[in-house]
Structure 1
């Protein structure tokens, strides 16, 4: 388990923060898959430092509940008058039944110890016809991240953290949710240079680095830093974000 009350909690904002324009791109993309009516009440499940929670409140004009088990992450969360940050887990969401119109799981699903129970809880708190957006990597739909070349085990480590698309869909169906036929691909990430990408990754705020062999990390970052210094302004690729759309039947 990644300890977000420890080192990761200290470096998360520096390594994983989002500019306002990027938040707006994400929330506008999410709107494509959610009901058109406003306001919508949203659960940001595994909200971390709330990097998306205020943007969800602005986009959907309703209440947003950021549920996060880490005290440190909640304490660092960005405040908003319509956002409430709640201590809780995905397996025991501190909200009443049928209390939200949408649930966002943004790169949090792989952290849930009991993923089936978490999806049952998502089904419980969604109103009939509500939608859950499960933004995740999937073991059989992995991006070829350019920085994997610096850390030989990184791709294998990442793939081991995630279920396949079929496995995730099967859990959703067992929990009473209806998955969309296809994985949705969203492009909303902020374009960055080689130098900017190195600076963000150097904080080691990705779960990947918690599981990499120690003897890969320092040599990998040394080579990464040298390449970034030689070519800091090179534009880095923007990767599609894979997302499953899950609906609670009416």
Structure 2
């Protein structure tokens, strides 16, 4: 399946911050996971690679009491981040995974949150991450893996999104091999359970914003039909039912 690249300057930036905003409980869940797998070294500088509108960037600064550099190729996403996710310890700069605007061995931790599938040259990106991370520093990668797809509620209402994810995301073995070649050790894999919405109605509201990049690969008819079915179920919901999700967190250590 050949899929076009998502242009965040053209489409996704407008509703992304609101549609992908983290629930407080979900933010705490992820930060606990990041802290648990960040390693024992002192963390003075964190890279948020593919920081988007800054969903995690200020939270990383608070969690690690560290300077955080949000690196994002989309100018429009950075504009939103500057407005909605500013923080005294955070800076947002242009760049992408294969060309990071930071010095050699200058970072103590890097995060890539649902970014890896957007990277066109993954071997080059892995080498660049190896360049900027200090020896012993860790890379945390939250990602879908095509051989470890979860039973997401999204797939029920928009069935072809599962096929798209299977085509877009690499396997675990492919990902580990790319980083091994670049000088990383695979240090862990954990499944993080987090809350996507407090109710089906809230979940439907988020999908109306079309803030998931996978929607860019659906036809308008597929999107409308899925959203209509989801909204019908949301209207029928008599008591709020939280929408829980799972996501893999890969941990790599710079040798």
TM-score, normalisation: structure 1: 0.94
Aligned equivalents of 2:209 and 2:107: distance in 1?
35
Q: Where does structure 1 lack aligned partners over 5 or more consecutive residues?
A: none
Q: What secondary structure, in the 3-state scheme, does the structure 2 residue paired with 1:196 have?
A: helix
- Structure with bigger helix share is 2
TM-aligned CA deviation for residue 34 of structure 1: 1.2
Aligned to 1:145: 152
Aligned equivalents of 2:136 and 2:128: distance in 1?
15
Q: Could you tell me whether the CA contact under 8 Å between 1:38 and 1:62 is conserved in 2? A: no
Aligned to 2:198: 192
CA 1:19 to 1:89, structure 2 compared with 1: closer, same or farther past 3 Å?
same
Aligned equivalents of 1:47 and 1:90: distance in 2?
11
Aligned equivalents of 1:34 and 1:207: distance in 2?
28
Aligned to 2:180: 173
Query: Out of 201, 213, 217, which is 1:207 matched to?
Result: 213
CA 1:95 to 1:232, structure 2 compared with 1: closer, same or farther past 3 Å?
farther
TM-aligned CA deviation for residue 7 of structure 1: 2.1
Greater mean deviation of Cα atoms: 195-204 or 23-32: 23-32
Aligned to 1:164: 171
Aligned equivalents of 1:37 and 1:169: distance in 2?
23
Aligned to 1:12: 16
Provide, for residues 102-131 of structure 1, a one-character-per-residue CA deviation record: whole Å limited to 9, x for no partner: 110000111111111111111111011000
Greater mean deviation of Cα atoms: 189-198 or 119-128: 189-198
Q: What secondary structure, in the 3-state scheme, does the structure 2 residue paired with 1:12 have?
A: helix
1:41 aligns to 2:45 (yes or no): yes
Aligned to 1:130: 137
Q: Where does structure 2 lack aligned partners over 5 or more consecutive residues?
A: none
Between the two proteins, the alignment pairs up a number of residues equal to 248
What RMSD, in angstroms, separates the aligned Cα atoms of the two structures? 1.6
Q: Could you tell me whether the CA contact under 8 Å between 1:3 and 1:9 is conserved in 2? A: no
Aligned equivalents of 1:133 and 1:37: distance in 2?
14
Provide, for residues 185-240 of structure 1, a one-character-per-residue CA deviation record: whole Å limited to 9, x for no partner: 12243552110111111111111110113331111111111111111644144122
Aligned equivalents of 2:67 and 2:134: distance in 1?
14
Aligned equivalents of 1:146 and 1:139: distance in 2?
17
Q: What secondary structure, in the 3-state scheme, does the structure 1 residue paired with 2:245 have?
A: coil
Q: Could you tell me whether the CA contact under 8 Å between 2:53 and 2:78 is conserved in 1? A: yes
1:31 aligns to 2:35 (yes or no): yes
TM-score, normalisation: structure 2: 0.92
Greater mean deviation of Cα atoms: 189-198 or 137-146: 189-198
Q: What secondary structure, in the 3-state scheme, does the structure 1 residue paired with 2:195 have?
A: coil
TM-aligned CA deviation for residue 39 of structure 1: 4.2
